[in-house]
A and B are shown apart, each in its own frame.
Chain A
């Protein structure tokens, strides 16, 4: 805070950077040290201070070098904003409740001019509701590419997290035929393909699925030999945690093995593998095993609450097998990290009926007993 006051109007100094912050019709100018920008939360506090809005929740955005309005809501994009600002970092602040989310995004140059007018005229509301871009702790994954290490490079296993989103899944499938290489030469076999993506749907927004991608598996179950209606029912039954293995129609964007950098995607939507696995995954793990386990009960016209799992003691024998299974997979060289724990469910080898579904925590507890 002192820093900003000290360099109040100075702009030419080496290592400092001018910041022009706009909130409503008011502008504030101050400077930051480029080499030591500090944390996002400090910056957020600073902004509230200079605009004298200490208790107002705001959204912070900046204009990047292309003129796109991008959000600043965590350390990483804050640092990115600071490092790319040249020479001036232009900050736009909106009240959270009045925020126009449509202003954000990577838009083409044609749209660039509108970006600022949208911000300048807060009454220009768009009809489309948008996801609130909020503090990092509120983030949740929308989609992810999983099992990259065990799948052939030509395949992609995509996980769509319908849970908690209001967005429709938004895609259609159709019958079709694909050509396979068999010992007898090329053969045409029936297959299921993605036929359409609904604009604004979850599937489209991830960018991981495309029209004419062939669907190979749904939540670990192969679809070959199944009818279109069967596959539809399987997808809908798994809709809250849908894992689709596809052979993308466009094979040029495949994930390159042993490289965790996102060379190809360039998507703004978060991808849990590439994004913030450490922060995000733990809070979602309990649902992974059985995302639809959260049935709701209302007792005596009271408040709805989630139905708990029955205490497993009566079913101890069954959970034992479950433990054995997960124990085995642990021995197969899987690290029991959160990402990889998905593998046994999704890899297609485990076609066991998951009738007994004690949740992850229970398993871990019992697992320690077993290892003893």
Chain B
């Protein structure tokens, strides 16, 4: 007999715990929040993004990811890779420079900060004198040229950041060496551009903001050439052969200057205002890139006509008579062009444009006609419409996986077929152990299906529920329907679209059955859609049913939004998940819980008013139950004001932040202080004092049945268990409310052969009222072996042992405060764990997970993964409810992070660390998805010579890169499967990796 011991005292159990549980935050998926800088290494083929919070993230080939965080948490202003090295330098907004390097440790590369440095001027100098504006890493690999606001160019030696004072290029020195006629003008001010001669490392170009550009001879300390433009200088680009300069200016013009030492030119060769003649905004950055065919690419940011398009965020590409202004939905932070990396090559031959916008990364294929965008293998903008909910499904059967990918690939027709061009480094991570899907619901009524198996969160398929409904904006009325002769030639790119047509479309709950391909989706206006996966496009009418959850309750008036109007006739649906039933709850309150049983063909849904059961086989409502307490007026009147959408609350908090910033800035107005203002200041002070007098108080009161939202249905659960007597088990539906009530209904589902003939019947069998009245967040039935009941159809697919129906079943009810186990069918209290009473923490999320041991292959245990309102994650054992481990995971103030958490069935989880990023964590020792990758300089050299026979201009870019990559990959372990967007290849690749897995 097993001797029972108090937790923490059994050494064997402690050892086992170490084999089962381990907490790691492994990888951040999605797009970095508030990016502030972009860096790109042509030789390493790695992209770097800096953020306003001081993070640096490096991305190479899919699966190759690094992250570093500056201690100072200051915004990263610039990122520069050092040529030919695995090192980069960052400039922060506190004017400090930081040297980072990728070092190989134990076979994998790690990003670490080596050195930091702040440029200091002589004592007494103005701070602006040393405020760095431009950084130029010199090709000698050991010097950094630092242009400053004061106009001087400082030289520091790496890696120790030693200032070489004698090499400083001061404004005076430059002035003295200028010819007489240029000297008299005040041409200096801050350094705007610093460039090394493309071929001669002894020459650098210095551009000053007032319009002077000089080419400086480093050895001779003299001015080789100078160019004087009449406009404020923004940036300069030096043609590959060094014979031409292109400068861009604040008036929206750019100028070409031929470089020759002999003939000094007072006027540019050519000057043009691309979007003139009316006043234009500045062109802030320009690329002038040569091609083998002769016509150069001109790519520039900004320059739009000020009056009519001044608010657009545009990057224009001009080549061979074509011109397109790519129009981004968010501010452009920076952009770069991927071109021939080999300095010896004669032409640039650009192949991709990489644009970092505030909310997304966009890569445009410059080699394919029409310049289509490239699909991202990572850095996806999760928040292109705000995320409203998420749902994780582990271990997707191959068949369903393939069908979803196939449906998704048809949606990607607009993308380029180019291979992902940023493919530096090698991912050494093992192939993901299984296929996992993360489904995110969005405010605009879409559901996105993400491949969450590996390090890269990749969009597989996007489902829109909008077509089912009549909305104000007709989808056919597309904004992109632009006339041909439109000027400027704007083209919308990117997927970030924060504007929702109708907030009622927002998705609130998702439930996918991975065996049958049935999907249930529920939204803000009480709409519940049941969808089925169909590989063909179909035109069908969606059956509409109304579920009156108030039933006979009289005299209530719903003051909230109206329900959505559905289209009546047949609607054409793309291949993929196609809706066939629409249940609309009345009143149309937000759907708060959803469950789907694909074997019984039933879907259950709950709102703040009650819950209902719908038979989607016969398309008939089985029953509805009103859970409303008669005194609960709030629930009746309108949408739950407390349950704000994540986005809304975020937006509000940002607005608040902004407002406070603005108000603090405006606190010192320039005008004479009037009386009004004094009065307001007084009021403000009084307000502050009042706040000090009345600190935050919390009311201590027991919950009662009359509290608000007690009827709010929090959880729904289907189980085949012993509900009425211990001899017969039957299908049952369980519902838990905010007021601590559990309802159990016994169901009678007709056998398959008579499924269409006889109605499904339901009868209330039990109602449990927990006296502590805390909201019920989870219901679960354990079988005779205390193992959670399998999912529907799991047994039928031989993927799970059939549940033990011999022993007695147990009911686990998880409220926000307690875990309780009851016996079945006679409900008697068996065990409990009071969490809140002991720790003051409340359960926010709970999920059952299987934890495998890292030692014994086949050993595993089922436990509860629990997230509390303090942001702690705990594992609570089943069935004895013993706390096993506890880790702090999320900051307790991060309410939206805690609200967004989802657990997987194998001890992992995701939560939002920003509107656009999921953090992935793992509680399991066995399932761990984290980047393991190698970035090697040797490999880089190999890379930088894509010297296959075909000329770079003629060969397609993918061929070039693959050619470079092959040599590199030889002998490396097989890469994690990252299906690329082309459908045929995807399926084969996925299939092969998975079959390889199984063997």
Contact = CB atoms under 8 A, between A and B. Distances in A.
Interface residues of A, number: 59
Interface stretch (A65-73, A103-111, A139-147, A349-357): A349-357
B768 to A, nearest CB: 5
Given A292-B771, A318-B4, A355-B833, A310 B823 contact: yes
B702 interface: yes
A168 interface: yes
Contacts of A356: 831
Contacts of B823: 310
B698 interface: yes
Interface in B795-838: 817-818, 820, 822-823, 827-834, 836-838
A325 B696 CA distance: 40
A298 B831 contact: no
A366 B698 CA distance: 42
B695 A176 contact: yes
A318 B879 CA distance: 13
B203 to A, nearest CB: 62
Nearest to B7: A353
A353 B841 contact: no
Contacts of B695: 174-176, 195
Interface in A302-333: 304, 307-311, 314-315, 317-318, 320-321
Contacts of A132: none
Contact of A173 (B700, B724, B770, B830): B700
Given A299-B765, A307-B822, A310-B823, A353 B698 contact: no
Interface in B681-708: 695-703
B863 to A, nearest CB: 14
A355 B881 contact: yes
Contacts of A272: none
Nearest to B4: A317
Given A195-B697, A237-B836, A356-B831, A296 B883 contact: no
Nearest to B6: A321
Contacts of A294: 771
A351 B837 CA distance: 11
A331 B46 CA distance: 71
A246 interface: no
Interface in A208-257: 219, 221, 226-240
Contacts of B697: 172-174, 195-196
B895 to A, nearest CB: 12
A274 B165 CA distance: 87
A237 B817 contact: yes
A230 B841 contact: yes
Nearest to B766: A299
B829 A353 contact: no
A169 interface: yes
B762 to A, nearest CB: 13
Contact of B840 (A195, A231, A304): A231
Contacts of A238: 837
Nearest to A171: B700
B882 interface: yes
Given A174-B698, A228-B698, A295-B770, A309 B6 contact: no
B772 interface: yes
A300 interface: yes
Contacts of A317: 1-4
Nearest to B817: A237
A286 interface: no
Given A304-B769, A310-B830, 17 more contacts: A162-B702, A170-B700, A174-B695, A174-B696, A176-B695, A221-B837, A233-B842, A239-B701, A240-B771, A292-B771, A300-B764, A307-B829, A309-B829, A310-B828, A311-B828, A317-B3, A321-B4
Interface of A: 162, 168-176, 195-196, 203, 219, 221, 226-240, 292-301, 304, 307-311, 314-315, 317-318, 320-321, 351-357
15 contacts: A170-B701, A173-B697, A219-B837, A231-B698, A233-B841, A234-B839, A239-B703, A297-B769, A298-B768, A307-B822, A307-B827, A310-B829, A355-B833, A355-B880, A355-B882
Task: Give me the 8 closest cross-chain CB pairs, A-B, nearest first.
Answer: A230-B840, A239-B702, A237-B836, A317-B4, A232-B698, A310-B830, A298-B767, A234-B840
